[in-house]
Amino acid sequence: MKFRLLRLVLFVMLLGLLSSIVFFSLKNEKDEIKKVADVAKNYFDRSLQYEKINLLSLALALSENCELKNAINSDDEEIGHEILSKLSLKFKKYTHMQDMKIQVVTSNHFLFARSWESGFSGVPLWWFRDDMDDIIKTQEPKSGIELGMMLTLRSTVPIWNDKEVIGYIESIKLLDELANNLRSNGIELFVLMNHEYLKEASLMRENSNIGNFVLSNMNASKRYFQHLKDLSWKELESEHMLYDKDVLFTHQPMYNSRGKKLGVFVLAIPPETYTKIVSNDNHYFFMQNFSSQDLSGVVKSWEKPLGGFKEQSHREIVELLPKLHKEDNVEFKNRARNFLGSYDKEALIDIILNSDTKMQKIGEIK
């Protein structure tokens, strides 16, 4: 009898021990999944923000182009197209922005000129560009994901002639380049727009569909897109992450510059990337593949947004100078000299210490 009782007690204890092991194992796995999802999402958010800031910086610089202002004042669309086309070619040649497009919109919502095509001047944009309303009211630059004929990253900046706004310049990029950058670091991106916006985004009507969404970035992985289609969308949407067949999917809303929800971003983290994130208990895994220029820009945006400058516009002008062709940056050098003349010695030293350097630093970023 005592032997049976002892065996029962041992069985209960063993069962309790096994239950505890299973419980903590599941908890650790859940915590690990959440950690990987957070790392991937944070990296994506910073990459997206970097793209927005870069586009805005370029649009701010281009808004001061005197030749372009003269073309607008003269209502000469052909000259406008020629100027924008040359500028676009220079950016492709001297910067990493290979798919950037530039266009100018008149102050009353009509197309003036584009860098990538001619013959469309005078086309009204007001019927599908409600995002222009805010900038017309505030006359302040903006940058974000916007609807047009396609879903794009777009920065819009007023073009001032003395105290009058004569138009708006826009720097535009597809989200495919961002997807490529993420892929180089082992993450697949799916930009999914709600079907309801296909009325405006008419060039996306033939794109692939998934549920109530249409795929925006055409370079998305077909393999993981099919995997995404096979998932329980309801569970992914409610939990914001789903681990299935060794692949982690994350889900987050996509908003335009006005805070209007346009769709969702889905990230797919393959097994090899998942393992690398887990084995590196920090974000250094993603940073080691950045160029020095990218790394500098991202780190400064975390730690010191203004980098020693008094105003964001001052920083943007100075950081833009190395990206411009020699003949285009004379005016901006003069502007930089003017506002930097008001800085004291300590502030200038602070700017130098926070500026880009050719030295490669190796180590962990915490």
Domain match, 60 and 169 both: yes
Average pLDDT of the segment spanning 324-331: 58
What CATH number is attached to the domain comprising 165? 3.30.450.20
Count CB neighbours of 147 within 10 A: 22
Average pLDDT of the segment spanning 87-96: 83
In degrees, rounded to 5, the angle at the alpha carbon of residue 151 between the alpha carbons of residues 147 and 152 is 100
Total tally of structural domains belonging to the chain: 3
Mean pLDDT of the chain: 80
8 within a domain of the structure (yes/no): no
Distance between CA atoms of 142 and 44, rounded to whole angstroms?
Answer: 20
Distance between CA atoms of 68 and 74, rounded to whole angstroms?
Answer: 10
pLDDT for res 288:
42
CA distances from 70 to 118, 145, 296 (A): 18, 30, 36
Kindly provide the b/e burial profile for residues 194-224, where b requires at least 16 CB atoms within 10 angstroms of the residue's own CB: ebebeebbeebeebbebeebbbbbeebbeeb
- Tokens 């180590």, located at residue: 363
In degrees, rounded to 5, the angle at the alpha carbon of residue 15 between the alpha carbons of residues 11 and 20 is 150
Minimum mean pLDDT among 162-171, 200-209, 347-356: which range?
A: 347-356
Domain match, 81 and 142 both: yes
pTM for the whole structure: 0.70
Domain coverage including residue 316: 304-353
28 within a domain of the structure (yes/no): no
Average pLDDT of the segment spanning 265-272: 96
